[in-house]
A and B are shown apart, each in its own frame.
Chain A
Amino acid sequence: MSFQNIQAQFQAEFENIQKNLNGKRGSDFNTIRTKSFAQFQQLGIPTVKHEDWKYSNLKNLDKIQFSFNPKSSFSKSNLEVLPFASLAGISICFVNGVFNEQLSQLGNTPKIKVLTLEAAVEQIPDVIEKHYGKYIETDKEGLSALNNALSNSGSVVVIDENYVLESPIIIRYISDVKTADIAVNIHNLIVVGKHSEAKIVEIFQTEGEKTAFSNLVTEIFVDKEAIAHYYKIQDENDQSYHVGTTQVNQEDKSYFYSATITLNGGFVRNNLNLVLNGQYIDNHMYGLYIPNGKQHVDNHTLVDHKLPNCESNELYKGVLMDSSNGVFNGKIFVREDAQKTNAYQNCRNVITSDSATMNSKPQLEIWADDVKCSHGTTTGKLNDEAIFYMQSRGIPKPEAVRLQLLAFAEDVVSQIKIEELREMLDTMIENKLK
């Protein structure tokens, strides 16, 4: 399998960026870029021969001619009619990978920084130096290397020490594909300081019916005793390709709490990687995907327990309709030193059509001997007896099915700590399951 066409496009874009560096070619930043591009050239775009990409085939990407970060006239009035537009909070918005100030409400204070990458390099170089690009692994995953090489935008969010930020920070990504097929590479950094708490919401949406290829990396550093809530909400069109890696580094006694909700998207691949770099760390990962039509949703998660006394807890749920595909791969590593680890994983799926498929694979690798770990995965149809039971009480079959699917999804949605977001999601899920 070859990706000659698309690789050539990335090569040209890389050269284009290099040409316009304006004397910054020798910067540390650019050294990393150049190295990452070499890694990408070596690793390439993953094919189905790659074990981690066995069920997710990117081959159709090669047929598309992309524009990189093209200009867009997407405006406030366009945003206002999109779902989640009214969600209250500090927000930073990117349209086709480009920061859009009009659509953002940054609200910076001494305790909170919400900046573009360019501004962060100027204003908080020490934070960038310490954290940016330090957690993502570019030597294994070709698309992460590509992201590192090509990303020239992104957000940097820093919550200072000992601070509880109650209102959410919303990072909104709009792909305006009304006229052109676009490719964006965005790289974000989120730092939640010692003993602080923050809620981060990433929202992905498209405007128009052409193809967007979004290749994203979000690095999250959760410092000692900090609490980070992280919600990734995807509502993109059926032509879109989304490959996103969220790389989380947790320190002692920190808490990371995530929900990844895929409402819509043509091809979605979410990597959620957690490295537990301390003791007494806790994390909960929830996921919900409800693909229909020919949508393809792939969630890969990895939890790396390096030290003792940590707990990880994972529940992913899927409702697969029509001819959609779902993939779940959950890796848990428990290293030799990570005694007294508790690690739980569960993936449950309901298939509502004979042509939908689900591939689910738990992968536990345990080197320590005093641990509690469990995993389970189920895929099946709704219980006919339960549907008949509801019908026998006067509830028509379609309504009986819908009620049960909503109850199934609610297990995940109810974990979200932002009430307004929960209500918006409930409405959207209800509409989609109609």
Chain B
Amino acid sequence: MLKISNLQARVESKEILRGINLEIKPGEIHAIMGPNGSGKSTLASVLAGREDYEVTAGTVEFNGKDLLDLAPEERAAEGIFLAFQYPVEIPGVTTINFLKTAINQIRKYHEKEPLDAAQFLKLMKEKAKSVKIDDQLLRRSLNEGFSGGEKKRNEIFQMAMLEPSLGILDETDSGLDIDALKIVAEGVNQLRSAERSFIVVTHYQRLLDYIVPDFVHVLYKGRIVKSGTKELALELEEKGYDWIKSEADALEASMV
């Protein structure tokens, strides 16, 4: 589904990704962990097409297409969804209106007829129920005045509505208390399927208690320095990142 080869990216003159290789198959959940500043969020942003980053080398193939060649909205239409670490407040645009526009733009991309108001509302009600989000919240301006938990839940609701084939969760756990975290994780678990894959970017292991990954990768200084299964996350929780850093730094030094 997704094949990242030697991906390198920078912001202004600062190299952040220095050769990422990662392959994700349908239905898999990959967790990306790592210390602060290791490039985790950058990877998520580059995949979604954020303009601030310049890709300097490498390729990303998504369902047979060159992902880096597509505009952010085309990536969304092809099935990529980024749940933001800091969802943006958009005054005056309700979540309902926003999603209706989004869904119909994506349908247009696939040369499908737009959903009419009744079809859209039916879909919305069904999905709102499945991720336990209050209807009233959706009638308000997008994320405006929402609590941290409400914003994150709204991200998951949007993901449920847009039904992507690859969901990327960028530190969705940050700022969430345990109850909110459980609700968000439950929402994600409901969306799991044999066709849908996830990249879960997180600093801490706790989210992975609830969204259990198939693979865990540790990112450090812009490279994946260790990969394993969910046990690796537990080991990181116990021992911190320092041992990984020393190992990686020693390896880098020996290669010079």
Contacts and interface: CB of A to CB of B under 8 A. Distances in A.
Contacts of A411: 92
B30 to A, nearest CB: 20
B213 to A, nearest CB: 23
A29 interface: no
Contacts of B114: none
B232 interface: no
A376 interface: no
Contacts of A385: 88
Interface in B128-178: 141, 158, 162
Contact of B162 (A394, A397, A407): A394
Contact of A393 (B89, B92, B102): B102
A389 to B, nearest CB: 4
A83 interface: no
A393 B158 contact: yes
A395 interface: yes
Nearest to A388: B50
Given A389-B84, A408-B92, A396 B71 contact: yes
A391 interface: yes
A433 to B, nearest CB: 13
Looking at chain B, what size class is its interface with the partner chain?
A: 20 to 34
A384 B72 CA distance: 13
Contacts of A391: 49, 71-73, 76
Interface in A195-245: none
Looking at chain A, what size class is its interface with the partner chain?
A: 20 to 34
Contact of B102 (A384, A388, A395): A395
B6 interface: no
A403 B93 contact: yes
A85 to B, nearest CB: 29
Contact of A394 (B50, B90, B92, B109): B109
A383 B71 contact: no
9 contacts: A383-B88, A388-B50, A389-B87, A392-B48, A393-B81, A393-B98, A393-B99, A394-B105, A395-B102
Contacts of B33: none
Chain A at the B interface: SS class: helix
A165 interface: no
Given A384-B51, A388-B72, A399-B105, 10 more contacts: A388-B50, A390-B98, A391-B49, A392-B75, A393-B73, A393-B102, A394-B106, A399-B101, A407-B93, A411-B92
B51 A394 contact: no
A397 B105 CA distance: 11
Contacts of B92: 404, 406-408, 410-411
B167 to A, nearest CB: 12
Nearest to A405: B92
Interface string B63-98: 000000001110111000110100111111100011
A12 interface: no
A408 B141 CA distance: 12
Nearest to A389: B88
Contacts, number: 76
A389 B90 contact: yes
A403 B101 contact: yes
B88 to A, nearest CB: 4
A392 B86 CA distance: 13
B87 A392 contact: no
B150 to A, nearest CB: 16
A407 to B, nearest CB: 3
B73 A395 contact: yes
Nearest to A410: B92
Contacts of A8: none
A17 interface: no
Interface string A374-389: 0000000001111011
A380 to B, nearest CB: 14
A416 B67 CA distance: 46
A389 B71 CA distance: 13
Contacts of A383: 88
A159 B89 CA distance: 45
Closest A-B pairs by Cβ, 4 of them: A407-B92, A394-B76, A391-B72, A393-B102
A392 B72 contact: yes
B73, B101, B141: residue with the most chain A Cβ atoms closer than 10 Å: B73
Contacts of B72: 388, 391-392
A384 to B, nearest CB: 8
A17 B198 CA distance: 81
Nearest to A406: B92
Nearest to A403: B93
Contacts of A393: 73, 76, 81, 98-99, 102, 158, 162
B51 A388 contact: yes
A394 B77 contact: yes
A114 B48 CA distance: 61
B193 to A, nearest CB: 20
Contacts of A408: 91-92
A407 B102 CA distance: 16
A396, A399, A404: residue with the most chain B Cβ atoms closer than 10 Å: A396
A404 B102 contact: no
A410 B102 CA distance: 20
A395 B87 CA distance: 16
